[in-house]
Chain A
Amino acid sequence: MFQKNQKPAAIAALTLSLAVLAAGCGSSNNSGSDASGSSNSASPSPSSSASSSASPSASASSSATTASGDPVKFHFYFTGSQNVKDLWDTLIPMFEKENPNVKVDEVYIPSGTGAQPTYDRILAAKKAGKGAGDIDLYEDGINVVTQGGKDDVWQTLSTSDIANLANVNAQTMSDVSNLAIPYRSSAVLLAYNSDKVTNPPKTLDELLDWIRQHPGKFAYNDPSTGGAGSSFVQTVIYKDLPADAIHNSDPSIMSQWDAGFKTLKDLGPVVYGKGIYPKKNQGTIDLLQNGEVDMIPAWSDMILQQQSENLLSANVKMQQITPGFNGGPTYLMVNKLSDKKDAIYQFLNFVLSSEAQEVIVGKMNGFPGIELSHMSQEMQDKFKGVSDGFRTFNIGDLGTEINKRWQSDVAAQ
């Protein structure tokens, strides 16, 4: 008898769980459309008045709310390794707590999985006359800033909209024609196991010699899957080219790559596993940690962060070489066609506040985006002299060409 009774009970439970599921879907859909829509729903909230005093740009923040008092939601796309996501997962709740009238919808695109298509989407939406294409704020490197400048998709920013922009180095801002905010920087450095390597290479030539003398003890990651490997590849390829070549995105320079690719190809048999290039920036860090290799190119912020979390042993040290590896600011760009600019400015003002910058430095171990004189004395001491030495490559689509040729010339040799 008991067994017979179980059946209806099970069906009831199943129905219930299905109903809960359906309800869950329904409510999340509703909240989504409520937040993005500006329709005249009831219940006015007092948030609009509360936030206007938060920043000096009062005009921006007071008009950021919609008439009904619903928070304005904008879409923020960013890319990078997990640490970048962790950073925004910390900063955005901080911001939303202080500014209840704005909601930031973050969309994380893991590195190596197609950040370029995000830019293509912005451009496609503009060309199709579809406005911002739901990408209001975007984070990326200098290549995309320049490209977007040419395509005229970025909003010119000024201190009248974002008060804290005054904290950013004016030269850095004029380098990008005020189209983007360099909110943090980091650089690729040589990370090495100091127990095994006492005298790390100081120049690229010394590094190449070291790799040849220590077969199997150096690894760099597949350049199409992460910036550290791609920085090593680009640094080697541009080794003997004129200094200004790294700012040249003209395809004609491709004929001068041959020597560099030959060097990389010849390195194949002496790098880790006679030509194994792990996927993603983390792939080589894992090899360094478990002792399979002694030296890798890596992002300074990833090394520092993982050391502070005890994921990476303290005997890993870092060294910049000359000519320097790739490095530079990461930029935030506002889509020119976004209709939620006031809310975005409010957010950007927060990102450039010393409060948020301390989080960036503390959490990501990146170099701050604002001038050091606006940071605490402790921070000023921490970054004295270390946040330079890197070079900023600005070669546009040639980066893709390098990856393509690397795959056929170096990986598939």
Chain B
Amino acid sequence: MTKERKQALWGLVLVTPSFLLLLVVVVIPIVQSFIESLRNEAGGYDLSRYEWLFTDKGMRNNIWFTLKITVISCALVLLIGYALALYLRFSPGKLAGWIRRTYMIPMFIPGVIATYGLMNLLGNHGWLSRLLLPFGVTLPRIIFDEKGLIIANLWFNIPFTTMLLSSAIAGIPGSVIESARDVGAGKLGIFFRIILPLSYKTFLVALTFVFMGVIGSFTAPFLIGQNSPQMLGVAMEQVFGVFQEREQAAAIAVFTFLLCSVLGFFYIRSMAKEEAARM
């Protein structure tokens, strides 16, 4: 056996465990759901479950609503995450120190508790409205509305995003930024021409995490979302647990998976490009 073949074999042996794990917990369930979602009411196989997804008015609204909430949440989370990470990197002040020490706290508060906390804080008769009442300020409806959902998504996703972006920005050598400054680059110029390109990979990772997290979220949308339109996670649970239509729920699951895999495609493509460049 030549040395290369031996090495190739070893490589295969080493990836087998993770491949098997992936096969059992990811690939097989997806295939099963897909097959299940193709079964129609008569017992045959066709695309009627998917047809319903896009023809039922309520469901179509759910899909649009989910996409809207996800896109808005992703944009806001990444914007705030970048701002925070940059602030933490370039500000030596005391405030930055405090933020650095505390910004991870939301990650350690269980989702249900945080959600009830938000309900008590932002509800129609919540603390915030009571505090603002003497000033004659009336809050718009936040809980049981998409605003509340987006706020909850910010709470759940900003810490992790900031953490990811912080580490990426910390890896950018200060000398690069300084030399850019020396040749007269403005703040925005530095961000868009140096920081963003150099942390682009992490940006993509963060985007993927936020997107997947929001699109599949359940607890917050269940407790503070409207009855209609719903996030896909809530709709899926209702179709599965309450209406007992497993095939229909499987179709929603496969559709959600497809939405996520679009993002996964871009992510993997950028990774592959980088690998190719390195070789």
Residues of A bordering B, CB below 8 Å = 112-114, 116-117, 222, 224-225, 273, 275-279, 290-292, 400, 403-404, 407-408, 411-413
Partner of A276, one of B227, B229, B243: B227
B222: which A residues are within 8 A, CB to CB? 279
Chain A CB within 8 A of B256 CB? no
- Residues B144 and A273 in contact, CB atoms below 8 Å apart: yes
- Residues B229 and A412 in contact, CB atoms below 8 Å apart: yes
Partner of A112, one of B61, B144, B227, B241: B241
Q: How far, in whole Å, are A224 and B125 apart by their CA atoms in the complex? A: 26
Also in contact, A222 and B58, with CB within 8 A (given A273-B144, A400-B243): no
Chain A CB within 8 A of B182 CB? no
A282 nearest CB across to chain B (Å): 11
8 contacts between A and B (CB under 8 A): A112-B242, A224-B243, A277-B227, A278-B144, A400-B244, A403-B242, A403-B243, A408-B57
Partner of B57, one of A276, A403, A412: A412
Residues of B bordering A, CB below 8 Å = 56-58, 61, 123-125, 141, 144, 222-223, 226-229, 238, 240-244
- Residues B242 and A408 in contact, CB atoms below 8 Å apart: no
Q: How far, in whole Å, are A279 and B220 apart by their CA atoms in the complex? A: 12
Q: How far, in whole Å, are A231 and B213 apart by their CA atoms in the complex? A: 35
A31 nearest CB across to chain B (Å): 28
How many A-B contacts at CB < 8 Å in the complex?
54
Q: How far, in whole Å, are A279 and B112 apart by their CA atoms in the complex? A: 14
Q: How far, in whole Å, are A222 and B144 apart by their CA atoms in the complex? A: 13
Q: How far, in whole Å, are A26 and B123 apart by their CA atoms in the complex? A: 45
- Residues A408 and B58 in contact, CB atoms below 8 Å apart: yes
A113: which B residues are within 8 A, CB to CB? 241
Excluding A224-B238, A400-B244, 7 further A-B contacts by CB distance (< 8 Å) are A113-B241, A273-B144, A278-B144, A279-B222, A279-B223, A412-B58, A413-B228
B141: which A residues are within 8 A, CB to CB? 273
A222: which B residues are within 8 A, CB to CB? 227
A250 nearest CB across to chain B (Å): 19
A291: which B residues are within 8 A, CB to CB? 125
Q: How far, in whole Å, are A112 and B237 apart by their CA atoms in the complex? A: 10
- Residues B228 and A407 in contact, CB atoms below 8 Å apart: yes
- Which residue on A lies nearest to B237, using beta carbons? A113
B124: which A residues are within 8 A, CB to CB? 273, 292
- Which of B141, B226, B229, B242 counts the most A-chain CB atoms under 10 A from its CB? B242
- Which residue on A lies nearest to B229, using beta carbons? A412
- Residues A407 and B144 in contact, CB atoms below 8 Å apart: no
B123: which A residues are within 8 A, CB to CB? 290, 292
Partner of B228, one of A112, A225, A278, A412: A412
A409 nearest CB across to chain B (Å): 9
- Residues B125 and A292 in contact, CB atoms below 8 Å apart: yes
B56: which A residues are within 8 A, CB to CB? 408
A113 nearest CB across to chain B (Å): 6
Also in contact, A400 and B242, with CB within 8 A (given A292-B125, A407-B58): yes
Also in contact, A224 and B144, with CB within 8 A (given A279-B222, A412-B61): no
A273: which B residues are within 8 A, CB to CB? 124, 141, 144
A411: which B residues are within 8 A, CB to CB? 58, 227-228
B250 nearest CB across to chain A (Å): 15
- Which residue on A lies nearest to B224, using beta carbons? A279
Q: How far, in whole Å, are A252 and B166 apart by their CA atoms in the complex? A: 63
Also in contact, A114 and B144, with CB within 8 A (given A411-B228, A412-B58): no
A397 nearest CB across to chain B (Å): 9
